[in-house]
């Protein structure tokens, strides 16, 4: 949810006007009066620092903003470090994941491009966030899951298990959002989007819940489908229910680990909200009833339900596809 809102916040102004006023520079010296001497495009100029100083120091590369003939130090220039971090990630993915790691990187890049250049502009121009987020995400999922893992029964089972789980999460989300009377105004970002207008905030919230679950479902479903595939190849005489039963023996462990992992992952992203629990004098029962808290909890539970349901659904679909040791060319679990 936050990712979609933040992308909209960045893209809406860009769609409305030409970007400008930003420069890159390097701090040469700091003045106790809140002024910095900076080197910008080969020239030395003065720029105002934030009221709190911002933690800037001489030699630091910074982003500057120019307005009305005055320069302001906005933020440290973090892009070189971000690029280095991304390069490290890409390098390790390529070395450790080999071919699949590289294909996974390309799939991730495609997903980001679809969200930034297709989903967000359509939503910003008044399109339904849920519709475009689902179409974009499912389209990318259909391509990337086959691109990374190949076209075979295992990936087909994973894809079908993912789609069934997403449908479940969507209908459950629609029911509970209506029942709890959510408005979509669960964050400061959403309030700002309402001021700009043109965005269906409730659909945006639903899109965040569903797409957030979709992003994590692939890992769960591919892994579970691979388990059933290995069982079918180990004993081709296993039928549908025997494959399902044995696959779920691993699936139960998968579910057990998922519960802990999911709660911690969602809780980590909501730490600022949880900290408010210790500061707000409102009784806990009524504080949790407010939309910001209720929406975070609902998103966490709905996404987790989708992931948990994905295990038995994918196991069942995979058992149906692999019963009797069925396999096409190149579908042996150890084939490369």
**Mean pLDDT lowest for which of 26-35, 147-156, 197-206, 264-273?**
264-273
**Sheet strands (E) in the chain:** 22-31, 35-40, 43-48, 61-67, 70-76
Encode pLDDT of 264-316 as tens digits. 766 666 677 677 767 777 777 787 788 888 888 888 888 888 888 889 999 99
State the fold for domain 2-77. OB fold (Dihydrolipoamide Acetyltransferase, E2P) (2.40.50)
DSSP code string of 3-33: HHHHHHHHHHHHHHS---SEEEEEEEEEETT
| pTM, rounded to two decimals | 0.69
Mean pLDDT for the chain overall: 79
Confidence of residue 17 (pLDDT cuts 50, 70, 90): very low
* Domain locations along the chain: 2-77, 91-325
Which of 210-234 are b and which e, b meaning 16 or more Cβ less than 10 Å from the residue's Cβ? bbbbbebbbebbbebbbbbbbbbbe
Encode pLDDT of 93-114 as tens digits. 778 776 667 777 777 777 778 7
Encode pLDDT of 224-262 as tens digits. 999 999 999 888 888 899 999 999 988 888 777 776 766
C-alpha 194/C-alpha 122 separation (Å) is 17
61 has pLDDT over 90: yes
């Amino acid at each position: 949810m936050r990712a979609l809102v933040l992308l909209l916040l960045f893209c809406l102004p860009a769609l409305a006007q030409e970007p400008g006023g930003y420069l890159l520079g390097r701090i040469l010296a700091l003045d106790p009066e809140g002024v910095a001497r900076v080197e910008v495009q080969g020239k030395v100029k003065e720029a105002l620092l934030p009221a709190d100083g911002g933690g800037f120091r001489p030699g630091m590369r910074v982003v500057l903003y120019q307005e009305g003939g005055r320069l302001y130090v906005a933020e440290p220039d973090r892009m070189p470090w971000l690029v280095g971090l991304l390069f490290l990630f890409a390098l390790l993915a390529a070395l450790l994941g080999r071919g699949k790691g590289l294909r996974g990187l390309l799939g991730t890049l495609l997903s980001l491009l679809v969200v930034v250049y297709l989903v967000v502009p359509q939503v910003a121009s008044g399109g339904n966030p849920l519709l475009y987020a689902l179409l974009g995400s499912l389209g990318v999922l259909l391509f990337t899951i086959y691109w990374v893992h190949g076209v075979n029964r295992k990936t087909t089972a994973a894809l079908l298990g993912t789609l069934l789980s997403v449908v479940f999460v969507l209908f459950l989300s629609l029911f509970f959002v209506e029942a709890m009377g959510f408005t979509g105004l669960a964050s400061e970002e959403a309030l700002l989007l309402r001021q700009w207008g043109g965005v269906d905030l409730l659909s945006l919230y639903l899109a965040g819940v569903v797409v957030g679950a979709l992003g994590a479902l692939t890992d769960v479903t591919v892994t579970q489908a691979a388990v059933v595939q290995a069982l079918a190849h180990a004993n081709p005489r296993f039928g549908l229910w025997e494959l399902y039963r044995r696959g779920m023996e691993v699936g139960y462990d998968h579910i057990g680990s998922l519960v802990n992992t999911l709660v911690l992952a969602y809780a980590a992203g909501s730490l600022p909200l949880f900290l408010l629990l210790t500061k707000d004098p409102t009784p806990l029962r009524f504080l949790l009833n407010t939309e910001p808290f209720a929406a975070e909890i609902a998103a966490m539970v709905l996404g987790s339900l989708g992931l948990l349901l994905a295990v038995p659904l994918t196991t069942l679909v995979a058992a149906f596809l692999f019963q009797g040791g069925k396999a096409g060319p190149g579908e042996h679990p150890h084939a490369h």
